[in-house]
Amino acid sequence: MAILQIREALRAALDEEMARDPRVFLMGEEVGHYDGAYKVSQGLLAKYGEMRVVDTPICEAGFAGVGIGAAMAGLRPVVEFMTFNFSLVAFDQLINNAAKLHHLSNGQFTLPIVFRGPNGAAHMLSSTHSQAFDALLSHPPGFKVVSIATPYDAKGLLKSAIRDPNPVVFFESEVMYGVKGEVPDEEYLIPIGQADVKRPGSDVTVITWGQGLPVALRAAELCAEDGIDCEVVDVRTLRPLDEKTIFDSVRKTHRAVVVAHEWPTCGFSGHIATRIQEEILDELDAPVLRETYEDVNMPYAENLEKLVIPSAERAREAILRVAYHRI
C-alpha cells in the first residue's frame, strides 16, 4: 500500500494503461514538455515519447476533434483539458460528436475516449474560471460522467474509464490534486456506476461527489458533536448514477442532504433530490435539502468566494434542519 497524492494516483493510472495498451495516448495543453499544468503527466513524455504524449495548440475544439477522430479509428485517447472551463469552445465536438456518434452511426462506431481535467471552482479564479460542468455534461445521453475525490478512486476509476468503449467525462479538482490517501500496490479497477459509502451512519444521508466530499465529511464530524450520525455517500459517477446505493441509505436514515460544488438552479443535486422523491417519497421524514454554491457568479475576492462555495458549517445547518434540530 502506498500513500499517493491524487495527481500521483492519476499519473499511475495513465502510466499503467499506456504500458498495458499501445493504443492509449495522452494529448492536451502542456501535458508533455511542461510535464502537465498540475504535474499529473510528469515523466510520461520521457517514458513514452511525443507520439503518445502530445502537446497541443491552445485550441480545445481542434484537439477534442482530433481525439474523437483517433477514437473512431481505433485508438484510445485521453484528452486533458487544462480546465473544463476551456472546454466551452469545444462543446460542439463534445456534445454533437463525442456523445452522439455511436447513435448516429447505428453502432458502427464506438468511441473509447476520456476527456479529463479539473472542474468547478478552484481558488480566486473568478467567474469565467470557476464553472461547474456536472449537470451540463451529464445532461446529454451518450457520456459516462465520473467525479473523483480520493487517490484510491482517482486511480481505479481512471483505469476503468480508459478501458471503457464509451466516451467518459472525468472530473477532477484543481484544489484537490495534492490530497493524499492510500492506494494499493497491486492493480485494481473500480466499476463506473458504483457509489461508495465513505462514512456509515444511521440518522441522515449526506450525498456528495468531487469537491463536495471533504465538505460533507467535515459536516458529518460537526453533526456528530450534535448527536447526529451521518452517512456520507460519494456517488463517484454521475452518469450512470448508482441510485440503489442512494435509495438504500435513505431508506435507512429517512433523511437526505445533497452537498455539491455547483449552482443550485438546474444542478445535478436537484436531479438526485428529484429521484429520491420520485422513487422513495414514503421513506422520507423530511424534505431533501441541498448545500451548493450561492446562485451568483463566482467572485474573485477570497473573502467573497468563501461566502459562495459550500461550507461544512452550512451543510451542518441543512443536516440539522432535516433532523428537526433548531439552529
Q: How far apart are CA 181 and CA 20, in angstroms?
A: 24
Angle at 102 between CA 144 and CA 79, to 5 degrees: 50
* Secondary element (H or E) of residue 325: none
Instruction: Give the tens place of pLDDT for each residue, 92-119.
Output: 999 999 999 999 999 999 999 999 999 9
Instruction: Give the tens place of pLDDT for each residue, 146-162.
Output: 999 999 999 999 999 99
What residue ranges define each of the domains in the chain, with the CATH number in brackets? 2-183 (3.40.50.970), 196-322 (3.40.50.920)
**Are the C-beta atoms of residues 96 and 140 closer than 8 Å to each other?**
no
Instruction: Give the tens place of pLDDT for each residue, 13-47.
Output: 999 999 999 999 999 999 999 999 999 999 999 99
Residue 192 pLDDT exceeds 70: yes
For position 25, what pLDDT does the model report? Answer: 98
Q: Which of 8, 17, 29, 60 is catalytic?
A: 60
- Cβ neighbours of 314 (radius 10 Å): 17
**What residues pair up with 117 in beta bridges, in sequence order?**
171
Residue 316 pLDDT exceeds 70: yes
**Range 301-309 average pLDDT:** 96
For position 325, what pLDDT does the model report? Answer: 63
Which DSSP string corresponds to 191-215?
-TT--EEEE--SSEEEEE-TTHHHH
The three-state secondary structure class of 144 is strand
Task: Name the percent of the chain in helix, strand, coil, to the closest 5.
Answer: 40, 20, 40
| Global pTM value | 0.96
**What residues pair up with 76 in beta bridges, in sequence order?**
24
Q: Which of 129, 139, 254, 325 is catalytic?
A: 129
Instruction: Give the tens place of pLDDT for each residue, 125-154.
Output: 999 999 999 999 999 999 999 999 999 999
Label residue 327 by pLDDT band (50, 70, 90). Answer: very low
**Are the C-beta atoms of residues 53 and 99 closer than 8 Å to each other?**
no
- Is 261 one of the annotated active-site residues of the chain? no
**Range 243-267 average pLDDT:** 97
**Range 85-89 average pLDDT:** 97
**Range 286-315 average pLDDT:** 96
**Cell (9 digits) for 188:** 485494481
Instruction: Give the tens place of pLDDT for each residue, 51-86.
Output: 999 999 999 999 999 999 999 999 999 999 999 999
30: Cβ contacts below 8 Å, ≥ 6 apart? 36, 37, 55, 82
For position 45, what pLDDT does the model report? Answer: 98
The three-state secondary structure class of 223 is helix
Fill in the DSSP letter of residue 185. S
- Is 129 one of the annotated active-site residues of the chain? yes
Spell out a b/e string for 83-115, using b for 16 or more CB atoms within 10 Å of the CB, else e: bbbbbeebbebbbebbbbbbeeeeeeebbbbbb
**What residues pair up with 28 in beta bridges, in sequence order?**
55, 80
Nearest Cα residue to 117 out of 253, 278, 234, 7: 7
Fill in the DSSP letter of residue 234. E
